[in-house]
Chains A and B, each alone.
Chain A
């Protein structure tokens, strides 16, 4: 990778955006999605445009290809000067539709966020790879096929010949994103626009895709416009950075300068809220998130120390949850998904244990099984003396007072047709914990507790922002005074600054109330910051579990290592060489009925630090 601050912008940029303004026709009149944006990108340079939701970063990228017009938008001002292959410079903002078609996919390629939906489900990969070649290069038949194969090799897809005749749904998300990149690269574009290309992907696949884009840039000398909300990705990819907020450019500069010495308050706040993997080295307990504007803590920040008195609060032994796979004649069960397979751990009072892993590893199912929202196949769950799995209807109702859950999606976890006060009161009513005016009082106090104004009591969910809704969900979980809260990706859907506030609220509640958290997350940097103990899950099993400092500082299982290596660090000085090859064998948690399933056996490498012995 080239030096960070030594990047020498060439005098002839590939694209120069100046004073871009984009407007949308809505029912409420004309709204500006982008107000005044200017930047330029030189050949071989990566410009990252970063911002939170609603900042206008995607609108900017779509404007360059003039795709914004198909979504009801209009370029209302500014110029988009693009240096064509012929050396001619044209203003894309005023180019004709024909010229734009000859540039799209030819001189400018674009990659989108959702690999699952960016490929046409009813066409083969070959057809989708070659139709751009046919259009721009006049290649057809065997020539087009040869070039398509070349492209697949270039993006390092295994068995490229076989892929050509496959349909998108037969490929994994990471492979689909490679296909989309191959499509964008088909005609060797001078500019590649990547709009959140790794947001929907798991972290190990993200690392491969980031590496791939970077290699293609170096090999082809393209200019890259990279749109993202993730400061860690910016730190890994960018030569220069443009920070956007509500349709305007807030700050622009070389990546090193932006991270080391941000000038604008918004950039400072954005950077402060981002947890950086590895920054907790040498500490043992969780630390609150940095939020700019808060005075530096004079007293020690509230911190919870797990208490071992009275044994663990939650003790899970050999928990196994499987889902049937139906098929064949009469749709019988022919196989099982081993979502949770022989999982054991325990959680002390006041402790945060994080379950981390990539999508489909079983971490969410594990949380739901403990609350008995899903029934386990076998194993034991002890919660504060309750044997949760054997509880009858009434006892389960009692036990559920002690364990509550906060879900991922703050938009979907609240009933849109119920007032917030009623939703927070629901557990109080259900468990018979309060009645009459007492309910109103306690709900009001819960709103105070999560720092929501009491004027919100009578409102409906759609009147609140995502962070506020998540606070309501937390208030609801707190209502029956539980001892355990399962937080399932509870901050993943939030913008980074809001995420930091909600995380701090959770840590504060823990310190005040002695709550235990089972914190389910895919975000290693957040997990490093908030946990006492960490369990890494892969294909339904815990592969490594132990104190946070041990698991992050001295990872012993190969999967934990690869996971940690893949996480981008929000620090341009700590760039890691990304290998864009995928060597991980495709493994599946689906086993035929009656398969020989081995129990999980662990080595204790240090006190409390366990590593799975057998390769799962």
Chain B
């Protein structure tokens, strides 16, 4: 219990640090935001007006205080590009992205764990070579390359799935899944390759442990030894890596959502960056980092359930 409390305290501290870093990256880096938005040739009165509107004339500390104060009271400001309250945008887009992040993680885990275990059991034989080579190729291809291939194959040639767009799952669930499928697959393939490698190396380590030998010496069937004694010990490490990969996914969605015109967090962050929509950039970057951090916290808590050794500490 003290463990959880300590972690909660650490979360508050980390959230604050995330806000500071976000603000620093978007404010302290050189460049006049107003000029970036309006362009170098813009008229001075318009520039001055925009500076005033954005509060750029105040000191950085005041600007930061205003931003963080707004977030604490639920007022995230307005997007310059979308002319909408940012809070509303965040709620919609986070939902859209959550769908493909969860789907791609599910696709990746369902395939990667058996493949990785299979490779570890047949270490240094052809099964291992095939699975490991495929995984190596998988982590070497950029997500957008997968995306383009999928658009060519499943959308253009076969016509099974739409190649672009987003449908709200609360409006049309099946449509939402159809739209989310190709982006999820594009994200999931690279992830699957990575998790296959992690599962293989984790299981290889576990299968060399003494307790596996003891289990065999008890006469347990090889199936039980691998899939129960072995895999049960690999769940924690695999889960931790999968949690860390959530961060990787939230980076990749920027590319993949843009490619598929899937209007989620990645897409809107990209629009904000392209248009120098500073308030929107700040909030979306903060939210993505916060979600990634909180996901890892949840994974740490789940680890407590999986590993009795940490539970007693």
Direct touch of chains A and B (CB < 8 A):
yes
Chain B interface helix/strand/loop/mixed: helix
**Docked-complex contact A328 and B2, CB < 8 angstroms:** yes
**Docked-complex contact B9 and A122, CB < 8 angstroms:** no
Given contacts A70-B213, A103-B219, contact A120 B233 (CB under 8 A): yes
Is residue A592 contacting chain B, with contact meaning CB distance below 8 A?
no
CB under 8 Å from chain A, chain B span 178-227: 209-211, 213-222, 224
CB under 8 Å from chain A, chain B span 117-147: none
C-alpha spacing A494/B275, complex, angstroms: 69
Chain B residues with Cβ below 8 Å from A184 are 217
Chain B residue nearest to A184 in the complex (CB) = B217
**Docked-complex contact A101 and B211, CB < 8 angstroms:** no
C-alpha spacing A123/B215, complex, angstroms: 12
Chain B residue nearest to A167 in the complex (CB) = B308
Which single member of A114, A132, A330 contacts B218 (CB below 8 Å)? A132
CB under 8 Å from chain B, chain A span 431-482: none
**Docked-complex contact A104 and B219, CB < 8 angstroms:** yes
Which single member of A119, A167, A330 contacts B214 (CB below 8 Å)? A119
**Docked-complex contact A102 and B9, CB < 8 angstroms:** no
Given contacts A327-B2, A329-B2, contact A119 B211 (CB under 8 A): yes
Given contacts A122-B233, A169-B312, contact A117 B210 (CB under 8 A): yes
Given contacts A123-B232, A330-B6, contact A118 B210 (CB under 8 A): yes
C-alpha spacing A325/B307, complex, angstroms: 22
**Docked-complex contact B6 and A120, CB < 8 angstroms:** no
Is residue B171 contacting chain A, with contact meaning CB distance below 8 A?
no
**Docked-complex contact B219 and A121, CB < 8 angstroms:** no
- Closest chain-B Cβ to A169's Cβ sits at a distance in Å of 5
Is residue A170 contacting chain B, with contact meaning CB distance below 8 A?
yes
**Docked-complex contact B214 and A180, CB < 8 angstroms:** yes
**Docked-complex contact A101 and B219, CB < 8 angstroms:** yes
Is residue B299 contacting chain A, with contact meaning CB distance below 8 A?
no
Report the stretch among A105-113, A155-163, A500-508, A555-563 that lies at the interface: A105-113
**Docked-complex contact A135 and B217, CB < 8 angstroms:** no
- Closest chain-B Cβ to A116's Cβ sits at a distance in Å of 9
Interface flags, A298-336, vs B, CB<8A=1, else 0: 000000000000000000000000000001111100000
**Docked-complex contact A132 and B219, CB < 8 angstroms:** yes
C-alpha spacing A112/B210, complex, angstroms: 8
**Docked-complex contact B306 and A122, CB < 8 angstroms:** yes
Which single member of B9, B224, B232, B308 contacts A330 (CB below 8 Å)? B9
Given contacts A114-B210, A117-B210, contact A169 B218 (CB under 8 A): no
Chain B residue nearest to A104 in the complex (CB) = B219
Chain A residues with Cβ below 8 Å from B224 are 131
**Docked-complex contact A65 and B217, CB < 8 angstroms:** yes
Is residue B12 contacting chain A, with contact meaning CB distance below 8 A?
no
CB under 8 Å from chain A, chain B span 214-249: 214-222, 224, 229, 232-233
Is residue A136 contacting chain B, with contact meaning CB distance below 8 A?
yes
- Closest chain-B Cβ to A180's Cβ sits at a distance in Å of 7
C-alpha spacing A65/B218, complex, angstroms: 10
C-alpha spacing A104/B215, complex, angstroms: 10
- Closest chain-B Cβ to A37's Cβ sits at a distance in Å of 20
**Docked-complex contact A131 and B218, CB < 8 angstroms:** yes
Which single member of B6, B217, B232, B306 contacts A67 (CB below 8 Å)? B217
**Docked-complex contact B219 and A118, CB < 8 angstroms:** no
- Closest chain-A Cβ to B109's Cβ sits at a distance in Å of 19
Chain A residues with Cβ below 8 Å from B9 are 329-330
Chain B residue nearest to A65 in the complex (CB) = B217
**Docked-complex contact B306 and A101, CB < 8 angstroms:** no
Is residue B83 contacting chain A, with contact meaning CB distance below 8 A?
no
**Docked-complex contact B308 and A106, CB < 8 angstroms:** no
Chain B residues with Cβ below 8 Å from A170 are 312
C-alpha spacing A122/B215, complex, angstroms: 13
- Residue from B5, B218, B232 whose CB has the most chain A CB atoms within 10 Å: B218
C-alpha spacing A242/B309, complex, angstroms: 41
**Docked-complex contact B308 and A183, CB < 8 angstroms:** no
Interface flags, A72-113, vs B, CB<8A=1, else 0: 000000000000000000000000010011111110011011
Chain B residues with Cβ below 8 Å from A330 are 6, 9
Chain B residues with Cβ below 8 Å from A101 are 219-221
- Closest chain-A Cβ to B252's Cβ sits at a distance in Å of 32
Chain B residue nearest to A115 in the complex (CB) = B210
Chain B residue nearest to A98 in the complex (CB) = B221
Chain A residues with Cβ below 8 Å from B232 are 120, 122-123
**Docked-complex contact B213 and A112, CB < 8 angstroms:** yes
C-alpha spacing A104/B213, complex, angstroms: 11
Chain A residues with Cβ below 8 Å from B6 are 329-331
C-alpha spacing A135/B223, complex, angstroms: 13
Which single member of B2, B5, B217, B219 contacts A102 (CB below 8 Å)? B219
Chain B residue nearest to A169 in the complex (CB) = B309
C-alpha spacing A331/B2, complex, angstroms: 9
Chain B residues with Cβ below 8 Å from A119 are 211, 214
C-alpha spacing A183/B215, complex, angstroms: 10
Chain B residues with Cβ below 8 Å from A329 are 2, 5-6, 9
C-alpha spacing A120/B213, complex, angstroms: 10
Given contacts A119-B214, A167-B308, A180-B214, contact A132 B233 (CB under 8 A): no
Which single member of B210, B217, B308, B312 contacts A104 (CB below 8 Å)? B217
Chain B residues with Cβ below 8 Å from A327 are 2
A-B contact pairs, 22 of them (CB 8 A): A67-B213, A97-B222, A101-B219, A104-B218, A110-B214, A112-B213, A112-B217, A114-B210, A118-B214, A120-B211, A120-B229, A121-B233, A122-B233, A132-B219, A135-B218, A135-B219, A167-B312, A184-B217, A328-B2, A329-B5, A329-B6, A330-B6
11 additional A-B residue pairs with CB within 8 Å, beyond A104-B219, A132-B219: A65-B217, A67-B217, A102-B219, A104-B217, A112-B214, A119-B211, A121-B233, A123-B232, A184-B217, A186-B218, A329-B6
B residues lining the A interface (CB < 8 Å): 2, 5-6, 9, 209-211, 213-222, 224, 229, 232-233, 306-309, 312
Closest 10 CB pairs of A and B: A105-B218, A104-B219, A105-B219, A117-B210, A110-B217, A167-B308, A132-B218, A120-B211, A118-B210, A118-B214
